[in-house]
């Protein structure tokens, strides 16, 4: 059941383009269950939502609420037990070319330098070396790694490696960008800077984006809408529209309106997180 409550504090001019044609992504009544019989675990239960073109949506929830399971299902990396995921009007049954995925874990190829990592999807399409390097350079510049083209991932920081992953995904020109806690392993300052960078790219490319995260401030800073998930089984508990003005500069992030949205989401999330904590303590006991 979806209970939607708008807690908009102001109207963001031009933040969300008016939808036209079928929504880029439709998640319809998706359930994912692991195992069978009495020991079966329902990770995601009857989740439904759509993404409009150019929209930035975050999914937030406590640990163990099925966020990553949902990510794998939408990315076509895991089957659904029930329900369907549609990209535009096409029901997916595996990874879809229109969906670009950025993983939580460090996922650059350690044996390829930065430019060859980013050029990887183009290499698969048989694009010539000079053309794919020119295209890869464009995305490397976009994520702010100009000058690091010939470096190996082992010579880069965690934040830089994650930017390489983002550039590689963008090089495939996906219509939908799907990100699973891409900044989770990074320090707070790098997270904030990288969040800004992702937002800037998303605005520049008008990229429809779905971000899985457990950071409330990150979700509020980046998103047009936030889907709050309940603790196990993962359901959409509430949808929050974030109508803060863009660009979300430090003034916006430090505004009382931003704080109010964060506090409001935390009130919901705390209840779920406490439930998760109690259940895991009971499990250990």
Partner 1 sequence: MKRVPIISPAFLLSIGTIAGLLVIMQALIMTEIVSPYVVPLPSDIAASFWRVIVEEGVPGRFAVTVGETFAASLLILIVGIPVGLLLYRFGKLRLAFEPWLAAMAAAPLVLAYPLFLVLFGRSSLTIIIIGFTAGVAPVALKTIEGFTSTRRVLIDVGRSFRLTPAQEFRQILLPAALPQIFVGLRLGLIFCLINIVGVEFLINLGGLGQLINDLAERYDLPGTYAAICFVVCVSILFFAVLDRGEKWLQRRG
* Residue 74 touches partner 1, criterion: CB under 8 A: no
In the block, tokens 């590689």 appear at: 168
Judge contact between 264 and 7, C-beta under 8 A. yes
Give ∠ CA 65-69-241 in degrees, rounded to 5: 60
> Looking at beta carbons only, is 78 or 190 nearer to partner 1?
78
* Residue 121 touches partner 1, criterion: CB under 8 A: yes
Find the shortest distance in angstroms from Cβ 241 to partner 1.
29
CA dist 203 → 69, 79, 132 (Å): 27, 31, 24
Find the shortest distance in angstroms from Cβ 113 to partner 1.
9
Which residue of 103, 139, 231, 258 would you call a contact of partner 1, by CB under 8 A? Answer: 103
H-helix segments, the chain: 67-74, 114-118, 120-124, 129-142, 158-171, 188-205, 216-222, 250-253, 256-284
* Residue 271 touches partner 1, criterion: CB under 8 A: no
In the block, tokens 């995260």 appear at: 213
Stretch that binds partner 1, among 89-97, 138-146, 220-228, 244-252 (CB under 8 A): 89-97
Find the shortest distance in angstroms from Cβ 227 to partner 1.
22
Crossing angle of helices 188-205/158-171, nearest 10°?
Answer: 20
If phi > 0 it is left, if psi is from -120 to 50 it is alpha, else beta; for residue 46 that is left
Find the shortest distance in angstroms from Cβ 172 to partner 1.
7
Cα separation, 100 vs 199, whole angstroms: 16
# binding residues, partner 1 (CB under 8 A): 24
> Looking at beta carbons only, is 48 or 109 nearer to partner 1?
109
> Looking at beta carbons only, is 168 or 191 nearer to partner 1?
168
* Residue 112 touches partner 1, criterion: CB under 8 A: yes
- Interface ranges with partner 1 (CB under 8 A): 75-77, 94-95, 97, 99-101, 103, 105-107, 109-112, 116, 120-121, 124, 150, 152, 172
């Amino acid at each position: 059941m979806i209970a939607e409550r708008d807690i908009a504090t102001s109207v963001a001019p031009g933040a969300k383009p008016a939808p036209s044609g079928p929504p880029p992504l439709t998640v319809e009544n998706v359930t994912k269950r692991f195992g069978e019989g009495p020991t079966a675990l329902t990770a995601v239960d009857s989740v439904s939502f759509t993404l409009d073109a150019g929209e930035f949506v975050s999914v937030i929830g406590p640990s163990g609420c099925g966020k990553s399971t949902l990510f794998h299902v939408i990315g076509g990396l895991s089957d659904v037990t029930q329900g369907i995921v549609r990209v535009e009007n096409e029901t997916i049954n595996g990874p879809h070319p229109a969906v670009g995925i950025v993983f939580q874990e460090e996922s650059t190829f350690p044996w390829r330098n930065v430019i060859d990592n980013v050029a990887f999807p183009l290499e698969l399409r048989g694009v010539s070396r000079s053309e794919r390097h020119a295209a890869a350079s464009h995305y490397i510049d976009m994520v702010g790694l100009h000058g690091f083209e010939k470096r190996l991932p082992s010579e880069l920081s965690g934040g830089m490696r994650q930017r390489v992953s983002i550039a590689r995904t963008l090089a495939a020109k996906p219509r939908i960008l799907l990100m699973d806690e891409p900044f989770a392993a990074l320090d707070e300052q790098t997270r904030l800077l990288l969040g800004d960078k992702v937002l800037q790219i998303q605005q520049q490319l008008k990229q429809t984006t779905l971000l899985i995260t457990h950071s409330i401030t990150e979700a509020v800073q980046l998103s047009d809408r936030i889907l709050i998930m309940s603790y196990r089984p993962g359901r959409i508990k509430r949808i929050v529209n974030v109508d803060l003005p863009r660009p979300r500069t430090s003034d916006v992030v430090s505004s009382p309106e931003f704080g109010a949205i964060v506090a409001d989401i935390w009130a919901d999330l705390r209840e779920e997180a406490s439930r998760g904590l109690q259940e895991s303590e009971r499990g250990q006991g």
